[in-house]
Copies of this chain bind each other. A is one copy, B any other.
Amino acid sequence: MTHAKVTPIFANDTLWADICEEARQAAINEPLLSGYLHSTILNQDSLEDSVTHILADKLRCETLKDMTICKVLGQAIKDDEDIRKAIRTDISAFYERDPACDKYIMPLLYFKGFHALCAYRVTHWLWNHERRDIALFLQNRISECFAVDIHPAAKIGHGILIDHATSLVIGETSVVGNNVSMLHEVTLGGTGKETGDRHPKVADGVLIGAGSKILGNVRIGEGAKVGAGSVVLNDVKPHCTVVGVPAIGVGKPCQDLPALEMDHLLDRDKKNK
């Protein structure tokens, strides 16, 4: 069993400096994007301002124009250190774990998993500050723009990778730990028509494969792995792999925290290779 390194929090902001350098290079390589790169990154004072600008550009609509969304996003990000920390660890999660991602600007500019996650973090802040109407409005915009539906009340840790992201659903009373990796079409869904705690609790380091549905108030233990296309209706113990419809245990992941390794094969299959 390997012990992967948990994505660190950036002590000093080398991340922002790296992003600016990447943007400068891209502006030279592709002049058609130079105006875009300047307005979104090189003309911004900080990573927070850059994220705010990028998201406002994507979420704006006739009802809330970009300047107004910009202000709402800016208030949340300025007020909440957790969001600022999560932005950095989420970008790093993409960079570390997605082999198709070799630049920090890629999630920042181009990955809707990052955009949806970051926008959700603002809706969560709004929800907790009793601005539920606008939180629901933005949840809908996120669902329209990115095809990702995360309830503002859900709780999600940092260092999260949501790869491809389309059709992801995370329900109201879900809790997701740190350093979790989820693929597209993952559902953390509720069951029943009564309000109350009815969604999954996903611990640190869990990897959830594409298309998997985890339903009800079940616990997915630390370092567990849920195979692609599985339907999980019961608790999964830490460091266990489950697969199937409905999902059953098929052993243990080769890694301590499978989210960091992104190995989607079943371990029983790998032994045969």
Contact B43 A68, beta carbon cutoff 8 Å: yes
* Contact between A166 and B149, CB atoms less than 8 A apart: yes
Taking the complex as formed, is A189 at the interface, i.e. its CB lies under 8 A from any CB of chain B? Answer: yes
Which residue of chain B has its CB nearest to the CB of A24?
B31
Tell me which residues across on chain B come within 8 A of A131, comparing CB atoms: 29-30
CB distance from A181 to the nearest CB of B (A): 9
**A264: B residues at CB distance < 8 A:** 189-192, 215-216, 233
Contacts of A128 in B (CB 8 A): none
Bound-state CA distance A185–B149 (Å) is 13
Query: Using Cβ atoms and an 8 Å threshold, which residues of chain B touch A62?
Result: 57, 62, 65
Binary interface encoding of chain A residues 182-218 relative to chain B, with 1 for a CB under 8 A from any of its CBs, else 0: 0111010111111110100000000001110101100
A162 in the interface, Cβ–Cβ < 8 Å?
no
The listed residue (B26, B166, B192, B213) touching A99 by CB distance below 8 A is B192
Chain B residues near A57: list those with CB within 8 A: 62-63, 65, 67
| Closest B residue, CB atoms, query A212 | B229
Known: A96-B193, A164-B169, A183-B187. 8 other contacts (CB 8 A): A32-B43, A32-B72, A35-B36, A111-B140, A191-B262, A193-B261, A193-B262, A227-B245
Docked complex Cα distance between A72 and B143 (Å):
26
Residues from chain B with Cβ under 8 Å of A245 in the complex = 227-230, 243-245
Decide: B32 and A31 in contact? CB cutoff 8 A: no
Q: Is A112 an interface residue (CB 8 A)?
A: yes
Residues of B near A234 (CB, < 8 A) are 269
A265 lies within 8 A of chain B by Cβ: yes
Please determine whether A32 and B167 come into contact, CB atoms closer than 8 angstroms: no
Residue of B nearest to A169 (CB): B164
Q: Which chain A residues in 55-85 approach chain B with CB under 8 Å?
A: 56-58, 62-68, 70-72
By beta carbon, the residue of chain B nearest A30 is: B133
Which residue in chain B gives the minimum CB-CB distance to A53?
A: B67
Q: Is the CB of A66 within 8 A of B66?
A: yes
What are the 7 tightest A-B residue pairs by CB atom distance, in nearest-first order?
A35-B35, A229-B231, A110-B140, A30-B133, A191-B264, A34-B34, A31-B38
